[in-house]
Chains A and B, each alone.
Chain A
Amino acid sequence: MAEIELKNIAHSYNPQAADMTYALDPFNMTWVDGGRYAILGPSGCGKTTMLNIMSGIVQPSEGKLLFDGVDVTTLSTSERNIAQVFQFPVIYGTMTVEQNLAFPLVCRNYEKSVIDAKVEEVAKALSLQGLLKKSASRLTADQKQLISLGRGLVRDDVAAVLMDEPLTVIDPDLKFRLRRQLKEINQKYRSTLIYVTHDQNEAMTFAENIIVMDAGKIVQVGTPAELFDRPKTTFVGYFIGAPAMNFFECQAAGGYKLSIGSAVIMTGTDLSKVGSAPFKLGIRSEYIRIVEVKGANTFSAYVQRVEDMGNYKLVTAVFEGHVIKVKVERDIAVPADSVELQLPAENCCVYAADVLVS
């Protein structure tokens, strides 16, 4: 167990080429010991590369990796003592399930009694007890992935457990149970857990902190609430939340005010110091209110569509060419044609050149 610090780490898969490109742009990041993190980002943004750098499978082209302040950049994978689970099942096909689970401990010369106890504990957590004596090559895909997970969990002294979309091949029912189990195991051993996923719900429910990445960059690190309420860039706003955050092109209207077409909106952000960059106003559809009377921060929009999503209604409205999505509770009556929408100032995020103005 350790605090993991990445210092000016960057990676390129073609460092010598004339048109060198970074798969990971230079960045700094600290993973607190015992933290439970999720890395979220679109395909190809560098998530796997980041994990592989931490585990030592990939040598970063630049920068340093510190475990509890000790430089481990040049240490081999096995010396770093990290557990990693890949997206697709990796099993040792010539061994039994039991031997598979024991392998990380056997390689590190643990005592037989410790190994047996640990294997049994993990097998129980993952409901693999009945399969222990079976050859690992004769299992189904999700059983194989459970073994991969199990091998990642048998050692409780690891610096961190890295999981690269480990539940992709597992069916939803089992997924739900496993997610809870992983959380419990993490809470029990307090090992740092870093979990790559492309499923934001998984990230939101699972992690204490979420790292959002895009095109080789970390765009935001924060709690699920922070990511939801104050996305640092419009990308995060689009990427997190369903539906995506509403964004409006707008102009500065002096002080804290912005104008969207003919409507003037008071925001919680002082815009007088910011230049005249193209502004965008972002607001979650959860925070937009339907009101009876015109007032501050309101405008009337034309209702295009109302969808019943079960536990809430999703209203699509149009205001001077801007499409607005509003989430309202199921029992609120939505007028058929025109509604007054209110954007509460404290929920308005202002973006200059797609970056949050704070």
Chain B
Amino acid sequence: MGLLYSTLKYLAVTLWSVFVIAPFLWAISTSFKDFQSVTNGATYIPWVDFEPTLEGWRALWKSPAQGGVAIVEPFFNSVFVTAAGSAISIVLGTLAAYALSRFTFKAGPIRNGDITFFFISQRIMPPVVLAIPFFIMLGKFSLLDTLMGLILVYIVLLMPIAVWIMVDFFNKVPREIDETALIDGCNPYQAFYKVVLPNSIPGIVVAGMFCMIFGWTDFFFSFILTFTEVQLLPVAIVALNSSITPWWSLSAAALVSVAPLVFVAFIVERFLSKGNLSGALK
């Protein structure tokens, strides 16, 4: 029983790993190929099946005029928009969530739970619904095709996630901790930033990670709300898929676009395994 179970378990994990890792391996090997090695049937092992080259990677820096794909500017645009959008969402979302968790709001029949749901409901709507309103609004304020406009849109998209995660987190932080801080001599603001906030870093890290993932991987809005001035990475990569696709550069660009998420995942994993998420309270 035990042996069979663990065999099956490892088999399942192995299968799943192959399933997840194979595309990466394929992308990595493709990124070192040239036109010849891509088009002459399937090749797998560098130096044996094909002669590796760095051309695909070099093209990332070069402008299209030089035969490159110029992915650097979209990359940093994406970093800037995602970081700014996530940071602002986390700050506003954490404050909103704390208020929703600790104070009672009443507006007619509306209560705290309804307000929290209102935030989340923004994410339940299919994004397409928001495309035209966003387009019109950004147009009115001349924010179409600007980083600023994208950041605003991302705040709208990411803040519900931050609010949702942080409300849940604060609800699990015992109220006694705030009350004790008040008794110990803090005013309500000090109680929040001296005591509750330091204890909430794990929640903020998780919320921040989700914001970054959702922001970084958004294609839809950055595609619709930008044209020529500003381009984000996902849009730039998809744009490579033209009549003669440079598969090597496309693979390299795709790997570059995944790298930051892998990096974030490793950091968060480190953070989690240090036990910072558990035992912070009680």
A binding-site residues for B, Cβ under 8 Å: 52, 55-57, 76-78, 81-84, 86, 88-90, 92-94, 103-104, 107-108, 137-138, 148, 151
Contact = CB atoms under 8 A, between A and B. Distances in A.
B190 A90 contact: no
Contacts, number: 64
B103 to A, nearest CB: 13
A104 B184 contact: yes
Contacts of B121: none
Nearest to B281: A93
Contacts of A77: 179, 182-183
Interface in B69-125: none
A108 B281 contact: no
Interface of B: 174, 176-177, 179-187, 190, 195, 198-199, 201, 279-282
Contact of B184 (A56, A93, A94, A107): A107
B180 A86 contact: yes
Interface of B is mostly: helix
B187 A78 contact: yes
A57 B174 CA distance: 14
A88 B282 contact: yes
Contact of B190 (A84, A107, A137): A107
A151 B282 contact: no
Contacts of B183: 55, 57, 77-78, 82-84, 104
Contacts of A52: 179
Given A78-B182, A137-B279, A90 B174 contact: yes
B185 A78 contact: yes
A78 B186 contact: yes
Contacts of A151: 180, 184
B199 A90 contact: no
Contacts of B180: 84, 86, 90, 148, 151
A108 B185 contact: yes
A86 B176 contact: yes
B139 to A, nearest CB: 46
Contacts of A137: 279-281
Contact of A138 (B184, B199, B279): B279
Nearest to A56: B182
A86 B282 CA distance: 12
Given A77-B179, A78-B182, A137-B281, 6 more contacts: A77-B182, A78-B187, A83-B183, A90-B176, A104-B184, A137-B279
B182 A94 contact: no
Q: Which 9 A-B pairs have the closest CB atoms?
A: A107-B185, A104-B184, A77-B182, A94-B198, A90-B180, A93-B280, A108-B185, A78-B185, A90-B176
Contacts of A104: 183-185
A1 B186 CA distance: 20
A81 B201 CA distance: 29
A81 B177 CA distance: 17
